Amino acid sequence: MASLIFVTGGVVSSLGKGISAASLASALENRGLKVTMIKLDPYINVDPGTMSPFQHGEVFVTEDGAETDLDLGHYERFIRTRMGKINNYTTGRIYSNVIAKERHGDYLGATVQVIPHITDEIKQGVEKAAEGFDIAMVEIGGTVGDIESLPFLEAIRQLGVEYGRQAIFMHLTLVPYLKAAGEVKTKPTQHSVKELRSIGIQPDVLICRSERMLTEQERRKISLFTNVEERAVISAVDVDNIYQLPVYFHQQGLDDIVLEKLGIEANRSYLDDWIEVDDRISNTQHEITVAMVGKYVDHSDAYKSLSEAVRHGGLRQRIKVNIRAVDSSTINREGLDSLADVDAILVPGGFGPRGFEGKVKAIQFARENNIPYLGICYGMQAAVVEFARNVCGMEGANTTENDIDTPYPVIAMITEWLDATGKREIRSEDSDLGGTMRLGGQRCRLRPDTLARKVYAEDVIVERHRHRYEFNNNYRAEIKQKGMVLSGVSADETLVEIIELPEHPFFLACQFHPEFTSSPRGGHPLFNGFIEAALRYQQEVRGALPDGVVRL
């Protein structure tokens, strides 16, 4: 039976529960323990798949095709365990499961209530996800005191009683520093713990976010008023990069404290890989700028995995990557000046017509000026549209998502292009937006002698998808004839997965989302190749290649 570590947050949201939990999990995994992570989200959506990125941030997709909270992306970047559908439960999913059981008669006519039926469903989900692991870290979304999180808090309280010493509670809280008074204030932390204790949960460890390290006196005061052991009051200040956190927490003895409280003996901790990652981030030798041309650039979490993957791509060559966010909807009004001095252009995934034409113009700019280009999902579809219009002479080419009456539907739903007429058979408004996508890990075959094959160094890859529309096979021959290479196709050869332009220094776009499998310790082949191509472009414009830069 796995030991459980429950992670809650107080005072304010966005303190970094997910990253803190993942950092601790990484330190524990590094000591030879098998660790998994679970996120319990209080919102009523069954999953975040239909939620706007402006409200919720990105939707992270797991190997088994679940649309989940972005914290699962943090989990996978910090630990080696792959997440799945069982690692993320929402209020909506829990209630949906309970209602389905009630309709099926599973409760034998009992009155279905929050306690015990909802809480039992939560507990069963946690225990199912924890099976086969030494430790399961369970993060509860939201802030203590929120009405919607009460069933989850009650469920973990019950699990704490049932598991005894095999369960501990870690609470993340804010210790603000008031410059006018010249001191930190512990009262918000005291009240947050008081709120937690009022529902029967006594934290074993406190992670205190503050602008500076807590003094011994401040930690002693917090310990006194919260009934938490003084050495278990851990400082969490802002670090230069989040990948310093496993080492940072280890230096304060957090993993030792947790294992001691759980009664677990483990190997010594060797965090050499995280020290190496930090060194590569802190001691760069080159610097480039990548323009990310998207429609959600005003929300920092909307492209979280993608931003991280782009930066991971520079670590192998010690390249600092500056990401310039460009709102694609402004390109038509303001022109392409924002792209004039960049070293590479990236167009991420997305949905809908807003900003699409700006993406197409940015892609045309990259193609015509030999600027390295990487397209992700919608970025591939936009690249096909741009090529069809400006190289193949298909005036008005588009995706049927944006123009139902386009004369050249080069991107369409499979149900559309299977009809030789290309006319739309099923409108998007006729379908359930939460269940019509190609989701999760799928195999892709790479063509020999292509950039994709060279970058991946494999014949078959598995990547994660999240999209509805596909490359229209009715236009394959014509587009290939004009020079576009279809370098990756689905395992059954029916769907185009990767396109590239062989005469371009680096022009590649994929239908899937490679950012979901990138990690700071290894990067990802596509992003490694893309960033290194950006450095070559920069250096070839300014002069000779520097020593040590690897040519693909």
**SS3 call for 154:** helix
For residue 552, pLDDT over 50 is answered with: no
For residue 421, pLDDT over 80 is answered with: no
Residue 429: per-residue pLDDT:
35
Q: How confident is the model at residue 340 (pLDDT cuts 50, 70, 90)?
A: confident
Q: Provide the angle, in degrees to the nearest 10, between the axes of the packed helices 304-312 and 525-542.
A: 60
Residue 501: per-residue pLDDT:
97
- Mean pLDDT is lowest, of 102-111, 306-315, 352-361, 428-437, for 428-437
**SS3 call for 201:** coil
CA distances from 34 to 75, 132, 136, 277, 463 (A): 14, 8, 9, 22, 24
As annotated, the active-site residues are 377, 513, 515
Q: How far apart are CA 178 and CA 180, in angstroms?
A: 6
Which spans in 105-168 are helix H?
119-130, 150-163
Nearest Cα residue to 505 out of 398, 366, 377:
366
Q: Dump pLDDT digits (tens) for 225-250.
A: 999 999 999 999 988 899 999 999 99
Average pLDDT over residues 135-148: 93
Q: Which one-letter DSSP state was computed for residue 146?
A: -
Q: How confident is the model at residue 42 (pLDDT cuts 50, 70, 90)?
A: very high
CA distances from 115 to 99, 200, 337, 532 (A): 14, 15, 59, 55
For residue 380, pLDDT over 70 is answered with: yes
Count Cβ atoms below 10 Å from residue 460 Cβ, excluding itself: 11
Q: Name the token pair of 264.
A: 């677990």
Distance of CA 62 to the CA centre of its chain: 10
Domains of the chain listed by start with CATH number: 3-275 (3.40.50.300), 285-422+434-542 (3.40.50.880)
Residue 56: per-residue pLDDT:
67
Which range scores top for mean pLDDT: 174-178, 489-493, 509-513? Answer: 509-513
Q: How far apart are CA 78 and CA 243, in angstroms?
A: 8
Q: How far apart are CA 97 and CA 125, in angstroms?
A: 11
158, burial (CB in 10 Å: exposed 0-12, middle 13-18, buried 19+)? middle
Q: How confident is the model at residue 462 (pLDDT cuts 50, 70, 90)?
A: very high
Residue 332: per-residue pLDDT:
72
For residue 430, pLDDT over 60 is answered with: no
For residue 432, pLDDT over 90 is answered with: no
- Mean pLDDT is lowest, of 46-60, 269-283, 476-490, for 46-60
Count Cβ atoms below 10 Å from residue 413 Cβ, excluding itself: 22
Which strand ranges, in their side-by-side order, compose the sheet holding 286-294? 319-327, 286-294, 344-347, 373-376, 507-510, 496-500, 485-490, 438-446, 460-467
For residue 428, pLDDT over 50 is answered with: no
Average pLDDT over residues 4-10: 96
Nearest Cα residue to 514 out of 280, 364, 346:
346
Average pLDDT over residues 440-464: 96
User: In whole angstroms, how large is the CA radius of gyration of the chain?
Assistant: 25
Q: How confident is the model at residue 423 (pLDDT cuts 50, 70, 90)?
A: very low
As a whole number, the mean pLDDT across the chain is 90
Q: Name the token pair of 207.
A: 């992670």
Average pLDDT over residues 316-339: 88
Let me know: does 206 contact 233? Beta carbons within 8 Å: yes
Q: Name the token pair of 54.
A: 């402006």
Q: Dump pLDDT digits (tens) for 385-405.
A: 999 999 999 999 999 999 999
Let me know: does 223 contact 205? Beta carbons within 8 Å: no
Residue 389: per-residue pLDDT:
97
Sign of torsion over alpha carbons 74, 80, 85, 86 = negative
Average pLDDT over residues 198-213: 94
Residue with tokens 């991107």: 411
- Mean pLDDT is lowest, of 19-33, 56-70, 86-100, 410-424, for 410-424
Q: How far apart are CA 373 and CA 533, in angstroms?
A: 9
Q: Dump pLDDT digits (tens) for 177-198.
A: 888 777 889 999 999 999 999 9
Amino acid at 462: V
Residue 426: per-residue pLDDT:
35
Let me know: does 157 contact 137? Beta carbons within 8 Å: no
